[in-house]
Amino acid sequence: MNGKGLSPEIPKMISEQLFVIVVAAIVVIVVAILLLDKNRHRIKRIILDRFNVSSKAGRRKPPEPEQPFTESETQVLTAEQSEAELERLQKLIEDRKQIARDTDISHHIWGLYKSLLRYTSPHSLDRYIQDGAWYDVKILRVSNKSGLNNLEFELKGAKYKFVDDEEKQGWRVSMKLFSLFLYDDSDRCLIEIPMKTHVHSEGRQYSISSDGPNAFLPGSWINDFINVKLKHQRIHNQEIREQKHQERLSEIKELKERYGIAD
């Protein structure tokens, strides 16, 4: 090499290196093509299996529909599956009970039942039948059979039935446990409310179990019963206020007469 330019051997060396690189690249490409062609069926099968695609249809398979849980399947559950299924059911039942607590439906049902029982004398029952729907409720029939109290009625045009087994249950010292049932016209139990009654010096006192209903089928009937119960409660409160008003008027009149006080 001199100070005026590159040695004539350098370009020759660069050309030889480039030639070697190009040849090597061509060899790699050819080998890759041969390997790919040799294994193309296996590669295709791997790709199809990965995407769950039928080799005939050439597209992704739709997911299999979830099969409904049938009664026959419950008979072949393993020990682990039955334990898991029971836990699942208990969680769903607790969710249902929480709906009952949030809507306070047990108290509304019991309150409506008590208010209807106040008007089930023969005279009142005749008035219900003659006047038709009363406060959106019409009592159809009241009966007692085998220790079960039955009250059949219509609420907003739909037929229902109250059943309580208080008379059928025995006493535990001064306490009795019983249930109040509500059935629809298909004889489905919409709700079973566990009840307690205690006897004390002033009579019987009723309370609803805090554990929630023993059976509960949520539906549109809940709002119907709550609305009717609230209407009954308002009317009952008006009746109480009117009764107290009349009692005060009688007391005022009596006191004026006793002490000779004029208006």
Residue 236, pLDDT score = 76
Q: What is the distance between the terminal CA atoms of the chain, rounded to a whole angstrom?
A: 142
Arithmetic mean of pLDDT over the chain: 78
Please report which confidence band the pLDDT of residue 32 belongs to, taking 50, 70 and 90 as the band edges.
low
Q: Examine the pLDDT at 113 and tell me if it is beyond 80.
A: yes
Report the C-alpha gap between 213 and 217 in whole angstroms. 10
pLDDT of residue 63: 40
235 vs 230: which has the higher pLDDT: 230
pLDDT above 50 for 91? yes
Q: What is the reported pLDDT for 1? A: 47
Quote the pLDDT of residue 9: 60
- What is residue 247's predicted lDDT score, i.e. its pLDDT? 95
The answer, as to whether pTM is greater than 0.85, is no
pLDDT number for residue 110: 94
Tell me how far apart the alpha carbons of residues 146 and 152 are, in angstroms, rounded to a whole number: 16
Residue 146 pLDDT > 70, yes or no? yes
Q: Pairing mode, if any, of strands 203-208 and 215-216?
A: unpaired
Helix axes 79-103 and 105-117, enclosed angle (nearest 10) = 60
Task: Average the pLDDT over 28-56 and give the result.
Answer: 53
Residue 145: pLDDT above 50?
A: yes
Does 232 have pLDDT greater than 90? no
Q: Would you give the DSSP letter of residue 134?
A: B
pLDDT score, position 40: 55
Burial 39-51 (b: 16+ CB within 10 A, else e): eeeeeeeeeeeee
- Among the ranges given (73-82, 89-98, 184-193), the one the predictor scored with the smallest mean pLDDT: 73-82
Q: How confident is the model at residue 22 (pLDDT cuts 50, 70, 90)?
A: low
